[in-house]
Amino acid sequence: MQFVALGSRLLGVPEVLTLGVKPNFFDYTPQERTLITRSELVLFPTLNYAQFLSTIGSKIFPSLETYLYADDKIKQTTLFHMLGIPHPRTRVYYHLHFNEILKDFVFPFVAKLPRSSARGRGVFKIESHEDLELYLRLTNVAYIQEYLQHDRDLRVILVNYNIILAYWRIAAPGSFKTNISQGGKISFDDIPPEPLEIARHAARKCRFNDVGLDLIFSKGQWYVIEANMKYGRKGLKLRGLNLKDIFRRLLISGELLR
């Protein structure tokens, strides 16, 4: 049994032939091109090849949607709202409409760079006019979100819509950011079942089948904050989990083909 992969995430897995990501399809040999287009499943094709393979009817993992919405908060927010997934009140403002922000939000609120704000970078708690002015100098598109009081969020990692791991990310004292790279701490204790079911439901509705979803409990309910397709490995390592082993098991069992 052998599967084809383009991206390198399964490099070294004996059942997977990793061909690499080449800029031109005809950079692959004729045999490799046949393997790619006729494979029962193409793994980690990258956004570029995910689009082409989906168009020609090939089965891929992760899903095309997992790639399309990666690292784009505006698209994720629109999708969450359209699907009725609980999400904080959020609005997007283009440059000519920046003056409307304070008509819709009161301090404090959260402002994010719509793209490239992973690991807590590009995420700001706006508490004054000065904070807002500094943020607006960084972007032509403002992504503004209500501030939900919290000291932790819940990261839920799902592969093929099954929960692999869930853990709390607890903010460092004096910080509103729970990211591990920003000083947050991990805890596996007392995780309630309700947000896990919300995460499963959200992942399926969005067709995100390789994702880390972040959820916050505030004002008496759970909110899905964002989807992370690059969800880090620290929590997995602390639990003794190896993603390559997980993917290999799912491949051999046939679960990724379903």
Residue 103 above 90 pLDDT? yes
Which range among 44-58, 85-99, 167-181 shows the weakest confidence by mean pLDDT? Answer: 167-181
Residue 116 above 70 pLDDT? no
Q: Within a 13 Å sphere around the CA of 182, how many CA atoms are in the beta-carbon half?
A: 20
Please tell me the distance from the alpha carbon of residue 79 to that of residue 31, in angstroms, as a whole number: 39
Confidence of residue 172 (pLDDT cuts 50, 70, 90): confident
Cα–chain center distance at 198: 15
CATH class, domain 89-146, is: alpha beta
CA dihedral 255, 167, 147, 112 (to 10 degrees): -60
* Cis omega (within 30 of 0) for bond into 45: no
Confidence of residue 173 (pLDDT cuts 50, 70, 90): confident
Amino acid 46: pLDDT: 97
Which range among 20-24, 25-29, 116-120, 230-234 shows the weakest confidence by mean pLDDT? Answer: 116-120
Q: Which residues of 161-195 are buried (b: 16+ CB within 10 A; e: fewer)?
A: beebbbbbbbbeeeebbbbbebebeeeeeeeeeeb
Confidence of residue 94 (pLDDT cuts 50, 70, 90): very high
Residue 138 above 90 pLDDT? yes
Please tell me the distance from the alpha carbon of residue 15 to that of residue 107, in angstroms, as a whole number: 54
Residue 118 above 80 pLDDT? no
Confidence of residue 2 (pLDDT cuts 50, 70, 90): confident
Q: In 3D, which of 43, 19, 22 has the Cα closest to residue 31?
A: 19
The predicted-structure confidence for 47-73, as pLDDT tens digits, reads as follows 999 999 999 999 999 999 999 999 999
User: Which pair of structure tokens corresponds to residue 202?
Assistant: 């959200």
As a whole number, mean pLDDT of residues 21-38 equals: 97
Q: Which CATH architecture has domain 152-257?
A: 2-Layer Sandwich (3.30)
As a whole number, mean pLDDT of residues 161-180 equals: 90
On the question of a common fold for 89-146 and 152-257, the answer reads: no
Sign (positive or negative) of CA dihedral 52, 38, 209, 235: negative
Which range among 38-42, 114-118, 233-237 shows the weakest confidence by mean pLDDT? Answer: 114-118
Give the residue carrying structure tokens 């999400």. Answer: 87
Q: Could you tell me what percent of the chain has a pLDDT over 70?
A: 97
**Mean pLDDT of the residues in the chain:** 95
Confidence of residue 120 (pLDDT cuts 50, 70, 90): low
pTM of the model: 0.95
Q: In 3D, which of 38, 17, 43, 90 has the Cα closest to residue 256?
A: 43
- Segments making up each domain of the chain, as ranges: 3-61, 89-146, 152-257
As a whole number, mean pLDDT of residues 23-45 equals: 97
